Structure 1
Amino acid sequence: MIIRVAEDRDWPLVFPFFSQIVADGQTYAYPEGLTLATARSLWMEQAPGRTVVAVRGDQVLGSAKMGPNRPGRGGHVATASFMVDPAHQGAGVGRALGRYAVEWARSAGYRAMQFNAVVETNTVAVRLWQSLGFEIMTTLPEAFEHPEYGFVGLHVMYQRF
């Protein structure tokens, strides 16, 4: 598996699993029914951010986007979002993308990384981020409407570099 900067030609390969994950409604609060173009504007970051893909040959296994959490005086803290094609979950793609994002942020001079909205019922992601050094700073109760569990909390997770 190789992680590289996403190119325009990658987006049509990311969009199918992006759409599936959004439609599943378990981890992201994006609206359903996004078009190829609208979803692209939400996922494909512009500088100073970056979007990457994890690939094996011509197959895109997952993607991550990263950049400043806030503009201006908050720009010293990075954030990131991750999506792994459900067909490739459990194969280390998320961990590889997470390590990449943390290293990118460190090398770009960010002082920390913050995840603003990790759904508390997404225990696989919570354990992964904790194993990579993130702490749950707080949980916003009932901040996410889960299709199976109803209103659940969103964790704010943080790692100082």
Structure 2
Amino acid sequence: MWAIFQPLLAGGDAFPFGAGFEKSTFQLHWFSSHPAYVACAGEQILGMYKMGANYPDHGAHVASATYAVAGQAQGKGIGRKLVEHSLAQARREGFLAMQFNYVVSTNASAMSLYRKLGFNIAGTLPQAFRHRELGLVDCYVLHRFLEEE
């Protein structure tokens, strides 16, 4: 899983973590508090996500998730399958909504997918991300309710 995440960090265009985010930190971040799920083709991991309550107690009815798709698997529908799976899993676990707290506005493929799957921009974080090529860009907070399907 680190082999998928590490190149995405190096891209400097989608995740807030930088060069100091090492494998041990990744393992703590990815596995310490929420279950992780993977999309595989045979033994090869193509993508992954982790999901859990966005906040404890009074905010525990809203889920949040983080996704990563291997470079060679991007553009093949893996991300969509991961998000759809997470929405269904969140419903099964009794969550009422899904919220993403930090989506880089220039991540066009992610934004397009999330919009197609019913997410709306709930807020804008002005110049919250230091993009490797574009400089300071906005991030979005995205939200959707998890009505029964």
TM-score (norm 1): 0.87
TM-aligned CA deviation for residue 33 of structure 1: 3.5
TM-aligned CA deviation for residue 107 of structure 1: 1.1
> What corresponds to 1:59 in structure 2?
44
- Kept in 2: contact 1:77–1:113 (CA 8 A): yes
- Kept in 1: contact 2:64–2:98 (CA 8 A): yes
Q: Which of the residues 85, 89, 109 maps onto 1:104?
A: 89
Matched, 1:32 2:16: no
> What corresponds to 2:119 in structure 1?
134
- Kept in 2: contact 1:22–1:30 (CA 8 A): yes
TM-aligned CA deviation for residue 118 of structure 1: 0.6
Secondary structure at 1:136 match in 2: strand
- 1:97 alignment partner AA: L
TM-aligned CA deviation for residue 90 of structure 1: 0.4
TM-aligned CA deviation for residue 95 of structure 1: 0.2
- Kept in 1: contact 2:12–2:18 (CA 8 A): no
Partner Cα distance (1:112, 1:34) in 2: 29
- 2:6 alignment partner AA: S
Cα RMSD for the two superposed structures: 1.1
> What corresponds to 1:158 in structure 2?
143
TM-score (norm 2): 0.94
Q: How many residues align?
A: 146
Structure 2: which 5+ residue stretches go unaligned? Answer: none
Distance change (3 Å), C-alpha of 1:93 and 1:45: farther
Correspondence list, 1:88-99, <5 A: 88-99=73-84
TM-aligned CA deviation for residue 106 of structure 1: 0.9
- Kept in 2: contact 1:45–1:65 (CA 8 A): no
Correspondence list, 1:1-16, <5 A: 14-16=1-3
Partner Cα distance (2:85, 2:31) in 1: 17
TM-aligned CA deviation for residue 34 of structure 1: 2.8
- Kept in 2: contact 1:45–1:66 (CA 8 A): no
TM-aligned CA deviation for residue 36 of structure 1: 2.2
> Which one is further off, 111-120 or 24-33?
24-33
> What corresponds to 1:3 in structure 2?
none
> Aligned residues: percent identity?
39
